[in-house]
Amino acid sequence: MGRGYNFPVALEGALKLKEISYIHAEGYPAAEMKHGPIALIDEKMPVVVIAPKQGHYDKVVSNIQEIKSRSGKIIAIVTKGDVQVKGLADHVIEIPEVSDALSPLLTTIPLQLLSYHIAVLRGCNVDQPRNLAKSVTVE
């Protein structure tokens, strides 16, 4: 899940995970966590949270606290040196500090790599995902 500029990144990260590892995933705007997704959170539910220091940081931290209180497994993408989210998350991936508008360029990379490594661990062919075409040929 992500807020602001990073909400579309959350959508793309979920899409990539579905495409190459065949695991159902959904991208959500963090602001809407209490409108459904929160009901799914338990000790077996991993939640990837995009939480750079810029933008809506305090609100994302609040979302992380809600997930933590329900024993969700938190994988957070954070700005290098972040100690607040690091103290709450189960796993942290750090990115360099950049402006809020440029953060999607950096937050996308860990999601792509996470999807890749999950797919490889599952034995999926990441070079030729099933049912996907390299180009759209049918209208």
Sketch the domain layout of the chain as residue ranges.
4-121
Q: What is the pTM of this model?
A: 0.90
If you compute the radius of gyration of the chain from its CA atoms, what whole number of angstroms results?
Answer: 15
Instruction: Look at 134 and 56; give whichever has higher pLDDT.
Output: 56
**Of the options 3.40.50.10490, 3.40.50.2000, 3.40.1410.10, 3.60.21.10, the CATH number for the domain spanning 4-121:** 3.40.50.10490
- Mean pLDDT of all residues in 113-134: 91
Q: Which pLDDT belongs to residue 136?
A: 61
The first and second tokens of residue 91, run together, are 């796993």
Give the pLDDT band of residue 60 (cuts 50, 70, 90): very high
Nearest to 126 by CA among 2, 3, 19: 19
- pLDDT at 62 (0 to 100): 95
E strand or H helix at 124: none
The winner for highest mean pLDDT among 34-38, 87-91, 124-128 is: 87-91
